[in-house]
Amino acid sequence: MSQPESAVADAQAGGRSGQEPLAKLAARYGLRRAIARPRFPAYVRQLWERRHFILTYATSRNVSKYSNSALGQLWQVLTPLLNAAIYYVMFGLILGGRGNIDNYPAFLLIGMFVFTYTQRTVTAGAKSISGNLSLIRALHFPRASLPLAYTIQELQQLAISMGVLLVIVIFTGEPITLFWLMMPLVLLLQTMFNIGAGLVMARLGSSMRDLNQLLPFITRTWLYASGVFFSIQEKVVGTAKLPQWVADTMYYANPAASYIEFMRDILISAHNPPGSVWISCVFWAVFALGFGFWYFWRAEERYGRG
């Protein structure tokens, strides 16, 4: 008789006689729960081993998302462009949001594309566990694979959008400079932040059923506070007459605003955000990624239950 079979036989006998608890029996035979949470280094290693699954799952979702629409993948670009056009009319023309901003069309588009990347990742992350319960209950794999796949899916969509954005920025008269080579760095830092934020939202979304109903209101408020339509420095310090520290808080305590300003600084020659905004970008990327993985991993055993 094999070791697991003998353990089962002993467990049944022990259960009838009440001589030895099942936990001690399992420990004596070296058995452990199949869904037990691994140590954090082992968990990260398991995710790396499943990198091909994560990438394939993200790509498949990306292809199938627009398969039933006539324009297909073009919606990845059309959606932020149409939103930007609406906001340009409302905030730029009707409400006079352009102010003294140089190259407002590029200013607005950069803000929309960068913010949309984070917004869509956070929203998708909140649904990544609760929307895949059948898969989670059927297969054993690191649950962080799902939020990671959703982030990669949004990153793939952003790659197409950024190509269109660069064409538009050049069309508005901005010169191509060596600073443009820093774009991958900004996107890497933002992706690190998005992964962490997506993992946090995935855990919250797995237990808070009403979170998906609240997220549109939360992200809309976040959108208005991130300087997508206006210059934080001009509106907060200049127009609203608020102290400089309030504007600095909106820059540095708001990761979305930091990444937007960093990208604008690279692509718009006349745009000059606070010089240390890149410190905020690095901090939020490292903090969110580390905390997000740890926070999600702590509840690994609870996903898919209930």
Question: Looking at the whole model, is its pTM more than 0.85?
Answer: no
- Could you report the per-residue pLDDT of 53-68, keeping only the tens digit for each? 999 988 888 777 766 6
149 to 15, 126, 178: CA distances (angstroms) = 43, 13, 32
What is the DSSP code (8-state) at residue 70?
Answer: S
pLDDT band for position 229 (50/70/90)?
confident
- CA quadruple 94, 100, 102, 103: dihedral, nearest 10: 0
Confidence check: pLDDT of 40 > 60: yes
Q: What is the pLDDT of residue 16?
A: 45
pLDDT at residue number 25: 65
Angle among Cα 114, 116, 119 to the nearest 5 degrees reads: 115
What does the alpha-carbon distance between residue 242 and residue 245 come to, in Å, rounded to a whole number? 8
**Mean pLDDT lowest among 12-26, 77-91, 107-121, 258-272:** 12-26
Which tokens in the block code for residue 155? 């990153």
Range scoring the smallest mean pLDDT among 169-173, 228-232, 282-286: 228-232
How much is the pLDDT for 17? 46
What DSSP string runs through 219-233? Answer: HHHHHHTTTSSS-HI
Confidence of residue 23 (pLDDT cuts 50, 70, 90): low
Q: Please say whether the beta carbons of 131 and 40 come within 8 A.
A: no
pLDDT at 4 over 60: no
pLDDT tens string 92-148: 677 666 667 778 888 888 998 899 899 999 999 999 888 888 888 888 888 899 999
Q: CA torsion 136→141→143→149, rounded to 10°?
A: -100
Q: Identify the pLDDT of residue 225.
A: 84
